[in-house]
Amino acid sequence: MARTRRLTILAALAGLALTSGLAEAQTNDPSFRLTNNSPTTINEIYVSSATVNEWGADRLGDRTLASGATYVLRLPAGQCVNDIRVVYDNGQASERRRVNTCSITDLVFP
C-alpha cells in the first residue's frame, strides 16, 4: 500500500513537471533587444512576420539608434518567425530574414 501510494505521488510529480515544461515551451515571447554594433546610426527599424510581404511602420518612430546603443522590440505573442530590416543614416539597409525571435533575446546588427 505504501509503495503504491509512493509510486502514485512520483507519477503525479513527473506529470506536473512535464506539464509545466510544455506550458513554458508554449509561452513564446518573440520580443528581443536589437544592438547597433555598426559605426553608423540606425534611423529605421522594421520587423514583420516572415509570412507578410510588407514591412509596416518604422519601429523607431522619431528616435534613432546610435552606434553601440540597444532598443527593445516588443512583438505580439506567437509571432516567432520574423524578417528584420534596419536602415542606417547613410541610406544603406541591412536585413535578416526568417529569424526565430522566440529563440533569441538579443540581435546584433550588422
Mean pLDDT value across the chain: 84
Assess whether pLDDT exceeds 60 at residue 97. Answer: yes
Residues 33/72, Cβ–Cβ less than 8 Å = yes
For the domain with range 32-109, which CATH number is right: 3.40.50, 2.60.40, 2.30.30, 3.90.380? 2.60.40
Q: How confident is the model at residue 25 (pLDDT cuts 50, 70, 90)?
A: very low
Average pLDDT for 1-6 = 56
Domain residue limits, the chain: 1-28, 32-109
Q: What CA–CA distances, in Å, run from 22 to 29, 42, 71, 103, 108?
A: 14, 38, 30, 15, 29
